[in-house]
Structure formats: structure tokens, C-alpha cells
Structure 1
């Protein structure tokens, strides 16, 4: 777990906020961002695939894509149950 200093502004499915922690469980897992949501004060942890860096004109990030909702397993990723 890494405490981010300074916190990073992020767009999440719950709205804009600041990531304060980054959790890395290893090479076979997503990174997880712990974000304090600006509007509500809620604290949520999101998988890397569910967040986006906020707009930053100086760095050329003028229209980052909106993050989709929490990921759901695709049919092809669900292993069949052996009977």
C-alpha cells in the first residue's frame, strides 16, 4: 500500500475525487485506488480499470474518457462448472 502525496485527482463511477492510497496485490491483480469522493465525502476503493485521471490541459489530457461502472465478469471469463 502506498500513500499518495499529494493525492491524485481522479474520475470514478461515483464522481470526482482524490486518490489517497494505491494498493498493489501483485502481478496477477489490478491496482486498487482508494478515492475520497469530493461531493459526498465517501471513501471508495476502485479497480484500476474503473477509474480515469482527471482532465489536465497542461499535460494534454483535455477529454479523458468517463470511467464505466464497476466491472462485471464477461461470459467468456466465467469457467463452466464441472459436473
Structure 2
């Protein structure tokens, strides 16, 4: 069995506003249960912020997986 140890470092640049938006959306949504979010139109803005945050996280995940695919392959 062969073991590969890889260290990957990358930088993600976000503006202070983007960081604040992501944190605000996650905090607000975590305080509300899913049923009330689905049933209540008062949370439209929070839903939009959460969707934006999820899209940003999906982008980060995709970028990370691409890095793993590029640098994590066994090249022997």
C-alpha cells in the first residue's frame, strides 16, 4: 500500500462586505427553523443571502476538489 501526503494551500479573497453577508445569512438562518423559513415570506432577504452563501461555498468546494484532482493524483 502506498501513502501520499499532500499539502495544499490557497487563498480566497473576499471583501469585508462579502464576509459580512455570508456570516449574517448563516447566523440568521441558524436561528430560524427550516419550516418557518419555507412558510414565511418575511425571510425572503435571508433566503437570498443564504442562497448566495451556499453558491459561494459550492464554488469553494469545486475549486478545492479541482485542486485535489490536480495535485492529489498518484503520478507514479
Report the TM-score range of the alignment, normalised by the length of the smaller protein.
under 0.3
- Which of these two proteins has the greater Rg computed from alpha carbons? 2
Higher helix share: 2
Tell me the TM-score normalised to structure 2 length. 0.23
Higher strand share: 1
Higher relative contact order (CA 8 A, sep 6+): 2
Tell me the TM-score normalised to structure 1 length. 0.22
